[in-house]
Amino acid sequence: MSSEERVKYWESAWDNGRTQWHASVVNFALQSFGHLLLPSPQRRVLVPLCGKTVDMKWFYDNGHSVVGIEGVEMPVKEFYEENGIPYTTEELPWGKLYKSKDQRIQLYCCDLFQAKPEVLGKFDAVWDRGSLVAIYEEDRERYSQFMKAVLAPDFRYLVNLMQYRPNEEFSGPPRNVPNELVLQLFGDVCELQVLETLKWSKEEGPWYDYGMQEVVALLTPKK
């Protein structure tokens, strides 16, 4: 699959306002477990497939440096504009980089699989929400290789998973990502600790019928 094909679905989602995943408030998992993800100040945080999540502003306001990767340009621009953060841009051979003036929020507009780990550097923390669950099945192995290439030795990786009964009507995104799959992808270098399991109620959406639950898990270096 080419980068254009990979991002096409998402471009159309942004263009047509099919962005029900985007929230106007900081994700509950960060409110509850942010201290486990960021045990000390001034960390470098990676937000893969970031959209324009306000979680990035939360990291920034808490003094951390943020790098996001997003394939569609519209949300990247809107992130800076909606949060009143002045920015500059830089063309790269594999995408476009948006930077706040103080450089503490840098968003790469590119297909994640075009981003260069050696340019991004290492991250103390990863916030993976709507990311691993959005990746195409055939790209999962590459995704985990990419993430492992950018983890600092003492990393913390907080992931929000969606889990539901496989069925014929709905296969995502969000895709079903059981804990075992995370261990298959990351278990060679990570330990997984489930922090919270939140079963969706009927009011929370159409996927209740498939037993939808959100799982918040922390990945840390394997001892």
Ligand X SMILES: C[S@@+](CC[C@H](N)C(=O)[O-])C[C@H]1O[C@@H](n2cnc3c(N)ncnc32)[C@H](O)[C@@H]1O
# chain residues binding ligand X, by CB under 6 A: 20
Of 174, 181, 179, 214, which Cα lies nearest the Cα of 193? 179
Nearer to ligand X, 70 or 214 (CB): 70
Cβ pair 40, 125 in contact under 8 A: no
Give the nearest distance from C-beta 49 to ligand X in angstroms.
3
Would you give the DSSP letter of residue 200? P
Residue 215 binds ligand X (CB under 6 A): no
Give the nearest distance from C-beta 55 to ligand X in angstroms.
7
Query: Among 57, 58, 67, 71, which residue sits at the site for ligand X (rule: CB under 6 A)?
Result: 71
Give the nearest distance from C-beta 166 to ligand X in angstroms.
19
Q: How many CB atoms lie within 10 A of CB 7?
A: 18
Give the nearest distance from C-beta 21 to ligand X in angstroms.
4
Report, in angstroms and rounded to the nearest whole number, the Rg of the chain calculated over CA atoms.
Answer: 17
Residue 34 binds ligand X (CB under 6 A): no
Query: What is the helix (H) or strand (E) element at residue 96, kind and residue range?
Result: strand 95-100
Reading the block at residue 61, the tokens are 């306001």
By CB under 6 A, which span of 30-38, 87-95, 126-134, 162-170 interacts with ligand X? 126-134
Residue 131 binds ligand X (CB under 6 A): yes
Query: What is the helix (H) or strand (E) element at residue 55, kind and residue range?
Result: helix 55-61
Residue 45 binds ligand X (CB under 6 A): no
By CB under 6 A, which span of 3-11, 88-96, 164-172, 201-209 interacts with ligand X? 3-11
Of 41, 27, 22, 47, which Cα lies nearest the Cα of 107? 47
